[in-house]
Structure 1
Amino acid sequence: MLKNTMGIINLHESHESFREITKHRPLAAIPFAGRYRLIDFVLSNFINSGITNVGILSAGNSRALSDHIRSGKEWDLARKRDGLFLLPSWQTGNVQGAFPNDLADFFSNLDYIKSSRQRFTLLSGSRAVCNINYEAAYNYHLAKEADITVLYKEYSIAEAKGLSEATMLETDSDGRVVDMEVCPVNNRSNKLSLEMVLLERQLLVDLIDASVSRGGTNFTRDCIMKNMENLKIYGFPFTGYLARIDSMQNYFDHSMKLLTPEIWQEIFFAHGSIYTKVKDEAPAKYQRDAMVKSSLVANGSVIAGKVENSVLFRGVKVHKDARITNSIVMQKGEIGPGAVIENVICDKDVKITAGKRLKGELNHPIVIEKGTVI
């Protein structure tokens, strides 16, 4: 277990491709899989690996995220010693661009990093949804006597060409990272960085201080890529299932893949359970004419219509003769009598009134913003 490792979740992640559902929330707070938020997965992976000191480097509007994580009790992080810390950002607005200015916020929270008692630090973003125990990566880091270890997922050459807004890396036969590219137009490598980095805490402090004092603004570029010749940087392969959420299309596709039992089982139970904010609601209620097939339906929902190949969040109401197919309906959504939606993503509090018909395409779902009434 990684008792001597602290975790830092870096929320400086570009979400220009999510404008419809990140207008009121950061990427980490995007609802996923019926009851969860993206940040739940990295928080759960940390605690399942024995990491009990976690800092969240916030960015932009983090109110929705603060409301979700609260004290960190659901992840056993409400502690007298260590626990969960929300590290404030001096910046406002949404994070944009391939190289966000995260070093300024690392530097402004340097006291937290310096005062922590753990020897190592594990940095992670929130867009890589997976179930992982970091102990194997930690042992690899020690065995290689590495300065920095970057976790990556290897794809086929064809799959890698379809990755967007990605950080790709290349390793030699010994696993040492010899090249990295951020958001290349044409991917020349098939190894995708999970944006998870393991290094000693003191080295992190030194890299932040040295980079900021030389005008650096981005951790990946100025602390890692510019030190590839000076530091021993190794790559550790992750072989489990990965849902990388980098666009609305990927969000839709990976949500639909959760309906496959094997994928759902791995992502929620492979190396420990995934935890989330507890809401005491009644189980989903299925009325006489309800028909539900191959779907995830969260608690608090009331189903009177037909639901197929869909993900319904907490408190969703599906009225009589309504039909939902290949769609995602987030919290407290309401599909009126006789309404039909197919290949649609409805954000929170969306109401589709009686008789309306909305149909997108599997490769281009319709996205309806929070609170919209149609």
Structure 2
Amino acid sequence: VDFALSNLVNCGIRTVGMVMPYNYRSIIDHTGSGKDWDLDRKNGGLFILPGSAFGTSRTGARFLLRDLIHNKAYFKRSNADAVICSTANFVFNIDLDEVYAAHKESGADITVLTKTASEKDGDVTAFDVIDGRVQGVRQGVNFGDTMFLDCFVINRQLLLDMFDWYAPTDYLDLFEAMSGDFGRVDVRTYDFGGYVAPIFNKRTYFRANMDLLDPRITAELFPADRSIKTKTHDTPPAKFEVGSRVLNSAVASGDRIYGSVSDSILGRNVIVEAGATVRNSIVMQGCIVKSGARVENAIVDRGNVVPAGTELRGTPEEVLITEKAHE
């Protein structure tokens, strides 16, 4: 959620509602009161909104109508002209002030953030577009299609009207419910030319993390004038012990490196013992890679211990994943 929240607050938005999934404990633990995003305030701030835990819904719906309608009072209390909606399925850093300005200038009812797809992806929503106006919506993109970045600006009163229009089909995604109404609702695109990483499965999650090892991508994602905020931790700097070897890796605070790490991402408080090797992998917070162990093409979830002399190895095409250790 860091990129979605940061994109919003970086353009001056100080009232943010987060619709929670059924299992939301880790999200609440991460965001807290919203202090790290300057959202712990008396006026506005971060609002935790309930999602719809029960009932039929279309699998993969990003903006489930039932979730939105369930929180109708939140939208009615606002005096804003427009609402910006976003999921946390995409990684990108954008100036939403420019998107909103384009929305106002065009006079559109809805402005959707889009990008030209560079590959086939069945999890990403595609729009059929003619002269910048959306004519249809479908699931899955091919190379060259207009893909939806799950972020849009909508006039608030129109959103409230849609709650009434589409109440009988509240099990659908908002844009799926709109599929027959693109003639009367003016939906226009805002094409984003920057870096975008969709994250819907382990393959795309792994690739997006590995992209962070490219200095050009990190420079674009983390510019000084649009910083990405996250939960802060009081953790000492990483320590690289004598004899350790680290190449082209992102190493977090609190890590202790005695062994070899290359082309990898390490979360906080990870220990790589002497004689251990981590290569082309993601090792999450609090893990210990024991002496003589080897981790390659793998995602090691939080709190795991890789025993001495063992090997966790996947392939670049099929990354190995270990489950989160039970607390």
**How does the TM-score come out when normalised to structure 1?**
0.83
Q: Which amino acid letter does the alignment assign opposite residue 41 of structure 2?
A: R
Offset of residue 223 of structure 1: 4.5
65-74 or 214-223: bigger deviation: 214-223
Paired residues in the alignment total: 326
The aligned residue for residue 170 of structure 1 is 128
> Of residues 280, 287, 290 in structure 1, which corresponds to 2:241?
287
Distance in 2, Cα, partners of 1:234 & 1:79: 34
Identify the residue that residue 232 of structure 1 maps to in structure 2. 186
Measure how far apart 1:117 and its partner are.
Answer: 2.1
Partner of 2:161: 206
Q: 1:141: how far off?
A: 1.0
**Which residue is equivalent to 2:209?**
255
State how far apart, in whole Å, the 1-side matches of 2:78 and 2:125 are. 29
Q: Contact 1:313–1:332 (CA<8 Å) still a contact in 2?
A: yes
In the alignment, what sits opposite 1:36? none
How far apart are residue 40 of structure 1 and its match? 0.5
Are the structure 2 counterparts of residues 101 and 309 from structure 1 closer, same or farther at C-alpha, using a change threshold of 3 Å? closer
Percent of residue pairs bearing the same amino acid type:
35
1:1-374 alignment runs, 5 A limit: 39-91=1-53, 97-99=59-61, 102-155=64-117, 159-160=118-119, 162-173=120-131, 175-183=132-140, 187=142, 190-212=145-167, 214-269=168-223, 272-371=226-325
What SS class does the counterpart of residue 320 from structure 1 fall into?
A: coil
Q: CA deviation at 1:372?
A: 7.2
Using CA pairs under 8 Å that are at least 6 residues apart, name the structure with larger relative contact order, 1 or 2: 1
Check the 8 A contact 1:345/1:366 in 2, yes or no. Answer: yes
The answer to which of 323-332 and 81-90 deviates more is 81-90
Contact persistence 1:61–1:92 (CA under 8 A): no
Cα gap change, 1:270 to 1:244, in 2 (>3 Å): farther
Distance in 2 (CA, whole Å) between partners of 1:203 and 1:216 is 16
Q: Tell me the distance in 2 between the aligned counterparts of 1:263 and 1:188.
A: 21
Q: Where in structure 2 are there 5+ consecutive unaligned residues?
A: none
> After superposition, what is the alpha-carbon deviation per residue over 1:279-313, rounded to whole angstroms, capped at 9, x for unaligned?
10100011111111100000011110000000000
Two-structure CA RMSD over aligned residues (Å): 2.0
CA distance in 1, matches of 2:277, 2:145: 40
What is the DSSP-based 3-state SS (H/G/I as helix, E as strand, rest coil) of the residue aligned with 2:98? helix
SS at match of 2:21: coil
- TM-score for the superposition, normalised by structure 2: 0.95
